[in-house]
Amino acid sequence: MPISVVTFRKGGTRDVMIAATRKLKVALEKNGAESVVLNQVTVGPDTGQWIVRILCTNWEAFGKVMQAASNDPAAHEAIAGLDAVSEMVSRRLLAGLDL
């Protein structure tokens, strides 16, 4: 069952969001995340907002990633970088179903 952390953010230009999310990607993948993806909403009431999705293979991997990241200065620095350039609007935790 894949687990995703989906964070909506507003603000930040394309270039600064890409740079900040790349730092987060390096830190979290080093700590076991399967992937980190940056998306931008193009249609609807949230147009222009950014979505950062962190994917883990299952609940066990999610727990390990979060535990490791909580003790990793590079992960803290990456999150601070995102916070400096954009505001977090909401965060959701999704449990996927393999079909």
pLDDT tens digit sequence for 28-52: 999 999 999 999 999 999 999 999 9
Q: Which two tokens stand for residue 96?
A: 């996927």
**The CATH number of the domain where 69 resides is what?**
3.30.70.100
pLDDT tops 90 at residue 85 = yes
pLDDT tops 90 at residue 98 = no
Question: Collapsing DSSP states into helix, strand and coil, what is residue 79?
Answer: helix
User: Torsion-angle region of residue 32: left (phi > 0), alpha (psi -120 to 50) or beta?
Assistant: left
User: DSSP character for 33?
Assistant: -
Query: What is the tally of structural domains in the chain?
Result: 1
- Domain containing 22: what range? 3-95
Gap between the Cα atoms of 20 and 6, Å rounded: 16
Q: What pTM was estimated for this model as a whole? A: 0.91
Tell me what the pLDDT averaged over the chain comes to: 96
